[in-house]
Structure 1
Amino acid sequence: MAFFPQQPFYNPPIPFTGSIQGRLQEGKSIIISGRVLPGANRFHVNLQYGSASGTDVALHFNPRYDSSPGYVVTNTYQKFSGWGQEERKHPTPLTQGSAFSLMILVGSDSYKIATNGSHFMEYRHRIPYNAVDTIHVEGMVEISSIAFQSPGPYMPQPQPPYNPQYAVPTPGYPPAQCPFPCPSYPPAPAPCPPAVAHSLPYRTAINGGLYPGKTVTVEGVVNNSAKRMNFDLCFRGSSIALHYNPRFDERVVVRNSHIHDKWGTEERGSGMPFHLGHKFVLTMVCTPQGYNIMVNGNQVHTYKHRHTSLHEINELKINGDLKLVSVMV
């Protein structure tokens, strides 16, 4: 079960500086929804140590539009040494005049950054993330909400020591695994039974319902002799906006909706991204058009909304042949 340490910031004035309650921790994510202003030249999102001017900035995420089609600069600032070496990514997925969702997930060795439901980049930690207690947004951007999601109780993992060479990609360095679509993420992680599993069938409320940018993450292990499992985003009790149903006996994942007491047309295909006896991370990202569905870091399916009153979708149900390790909603 996810914990919600603080309420979102809604429609904050720009520039904006807000506190991150409880500071950053591994598994915590920040979801920013907004719009790049038409004709914008740049804006930035900083994750930093406190609100004072000139403080250390652990992550500087800076879309720039001084050349077409635009790009993103990431960097770290330390008050005693200044800015580090820039990392640039072309092109920016956040276009001028367009709405966007930006999600920053804190990993043990890097920030995993997704835009509009799809993986965009990773940024390796240069200074410790567990001292970050402030988010700062400035520039030509409108923000509708800044939300926070935290995992349940966890054992903190040691962070790697600061290394200024993290600014330069090291040939042969293995990329960190993440719950966003990363081409290098292994399609079948090694079997890893959980220490503690939730009982099934499992159900939990989605407080406030869904909205574009809202993410649901499920970690589990497929049983060795699994036949089927299902992950359902529900509303009005028994109605299902998204029925995500891996069927090992058919080697297919079925997607469907159950509305007005009847099933719709099934969507099938795109292979089977789950593996018997193996751990998985399932991430379902709500977008304005539908759902982007990732398994073990790879985007494997999309599903258009059939129930468009997203705020009514307020429950997650899970059942089937799996061991359920954790759920973050």
Structure 2
Amino acid sequence: RCCLSHIQEHSRHLGRKSMCPPTIPYVSTITEQLKPGSLIVIRGHVPKDSERFQVDFQHGNSLKPRADVAFHFNPRFKRSNCIVCNTLTNEKWGWEEITHDMPFRKEKSFEIVIMVLKNKFQVAVNGKHILLYAHRINPEKIDTLGIYGKVNIHSIGFRFSSDLQSMETSTLGLTQISKENIQKSGKLHLSLPFEARLNASMGPGRTVVVKGEVNTNAKSFNVDLVAGRSRDIALHLNPRLNVKAFVRNSFLQDAWGEEERNITCFPFSSGMYFEMIIYCDVREFKVAVNGVHSLEYKHRFKDLSSIDTLAVDGDIRLLDVRSW
């Protein structure tokens, strides 16, 4: 596993709601406003006799009338295994959104990571992206977390700080060299195709982070680490959503090498937010996506110090790039 991941890095420091495991039903006030970039991490275990449980992000905790539920996340085990998501407004449920890709198993532990984005919630379970749920109620109204049903909860953590907005260029470790060759108001201009010079060339211990949102009908995108002088591509990362292949390769001396495709789990999905972390080791690159180690790629281009450029293009909205 790659321990460099953004989510894991923060989840170690997430505020726990109590030192003892929470009792169910669990209802507690959320201490700060949930803004884009906020993370909620819930760790627990599904009992053998569980038929269902739910995680509700509520506006208040009233029982009569019942408080509005902005996001109802409801794994069900009886009959067909599925996750039902919905919103309760003025004591009336909206239309159900059902996911049959069921990551929960009875008598197994789980980790749910819920990220609040500008227009939706994004949910991963045990490191795998599971679903997106568009906001039907402004998430700023959410002030209560409720967990109900047959489930054991070990810990609940929050990260309220948001870093989805681009930081000042000086903290990013890159300098723009795209077509316009300008930086507006001291920030990188993140239109595609994007190309930027690393302020320090690649080598063991160096890290590059690319944050973005996959387009709705995306086919593919690419993230390349390039030796600027020769234009050799030392690392070509090419997720192809239309065939669920995460292709890796190198373009050396005007020729592509042999593609590498082996992967345990394809980490990208249409519409999802992602944080891709590329770490340069002595023998290989290590890549993590949204907190989960995804792959290693042994160096084919040996002169690591010549790798000085990051290029990004394809069917995504680029949100942030960093290097250190």
When the two structures are superposed, what TM-score results if normalisation uses the length of structure 1?
Answer: 0.54
8 Å contact kept, 1:228–1:248: no
Gaps of 5+ in 1: 156-192, 202-218, 233-245, 255-268, 274-279, 285-290, 304-319
Per the alignment, do residues 220 and 67 of structure 1 end up closer, same or farther by CA in structure 2, a change over 3 Å counting? farther
Counterpart AA for 2:202: R
Partner of 2:226: 248
Q: CA deviation at 1:200?
A: 5.7
Counterpart AA for 1:282: M
- C-alpha distance in 2, partners of 1:120/1:75? 15
Partner of 2:83: 72
Q: CA deviation at 1:152?
A: 4.3
2:202 is equivalent to residue 228 of structure 1: yes
Q: CA deviation at 1:132?
A: 0.4
Partner of 1:27: 37
- C-alpha distance in 1, partners of 2:249/2:123? 25
Partner of 1:139: 149
Larger Rg: 2
Partner secondary structure for residue 49 of structure 2: coil
Per the alignment, do residues 147 and 271 of structure 1 end up closer, same or farther by CA in structure 2, a change over 3 Å counting? same
8 Å contact kept, 1:117–1:292: no
- C-alpha distance in 2, partners of 1:38/1:74? 23
The count of residues paired between Structure 1 and Structure 2 equals 216
Q: Indicate which of 261, 268, 282 corresponds to 2:276.
A: 282
Q: CA deviation at 1:196?
A: 4.5
Q: CA deviation at 1:225?
A: 3.7
- C-alpha distance in 2, partners of 1:134/1:92? 26
Q: CA deviation at 1:78?
A: 1.2
Identify the range of structure 1 (6-15 vs 92-101) with the bigger mean alpha-carbon deviation: 6-15
Partner secondary structure for residue 52 of structure 1: coil
Gaps of 5+ in 2: 1-5, 175-187, 209-223, 228-232, 238-245, 251-273, 279-285, 297-307, 311-318
- C-alpha distance in 1, partners of 2:44/2:320? 32
When the two structures are superposed, what TM-score results if normalisation uses the length of structure 2?
Answer: 0.55
**Alpha-carbon deviations, 1:16-41, whole Å to 9, x = none?**
11121112111101010111111310
Counterpart AA for 2:79: S
8 Å contact kept, 1:41–1:66: yes
Partner secondary structure for residue 140 of structure 2: helix
- C-alpha distance in 2, partners of 1:132/1:92? 26
**Alpha-carbon deviations, 1:232-273, whole Å to 9, x = none?**
9xxxxxxxxxxxxx853462389xxxxxxxxxxxxxx95279
**Alpha-carbon deviations, 1:152-203, whole Å to 9, x = none?**
4788xxxxxxxxxxxxxxxxxxxxxxxxxxxxxxxxxxxxx754542669xx
Runs of 4+ in 1 over 3 A off after TM superposition: 1-10, 152-155, 193-197, 219-223, 246-250, 324-327
**Alpha-carbon deviations, 1:290-325, whole Å to 9, x = none?**
x98217x9x88247xxxxxxxxxxxxxxxx867x96
Matched ranges for 1:108-257 at <5 A: 108-152=118-162, 195-198=168-171, 224-226=196-198, 228=202, 230-231=206-207, 248-249=226-227, 251-252=234-235
Partner secondary structure for residue 196 of structure 2: coil
- C-alpha distance in 2, partners of 1:15/1:194? 40
Partner secondary structure for residue 282 of structure 1: strand
8 Å contact kept, 2:69–2:89: yes
Per the alignment, do residues 57 and 39 of structure 1 end up closer, same or farther by CA in structure 2, a change over 3 Å counting? same
- C-alpha distance in 2, partners of 1:33/1:92? 16
Counterpart AA for 1:248: V
Q: CA RMSD in A?
A: 4.3
Q: Indicate which of 268, 273, 288 corresponds to 1:293.
A: 288
Per the alignment, do residues 124 and 154 of structure 1 end up closer, same or farther by CA in structure 2, a change over 3 Å counting? closer
> Percent of counterpart pairs with the same letter?
26
Per the alignment, do residues 154 and 115 of structure 1 end up closer, same or farther by CA in structure 2, a change over 3 Å counting? closer
Per the alignment, do residues 134 and 153 of structure 1 end up closer, same or farther by CA in structure 2, a change over 3 Å counting? same
- C-alpha distance in 1, partners of 2:117/2:22? 27
- C-alpha distance in 1, partners of 2:118/2:173? 29
- C-alpha distance in 1, partners of 2:287/2:144? 29
2:80 is equivalent to residue 83 of structure 1: no
Counterpart AA for 2:71: L
Partner of 2:305: none
8 Å contact kept, 1:15–1:138: yes
8 Å contact kept, 1:9–1:147: no
Q: CA deviation at 1:8?
A: 3.9
Partner of 1:237: none
- C-alpha distance in 2, partners of 1:45/1:100? 13
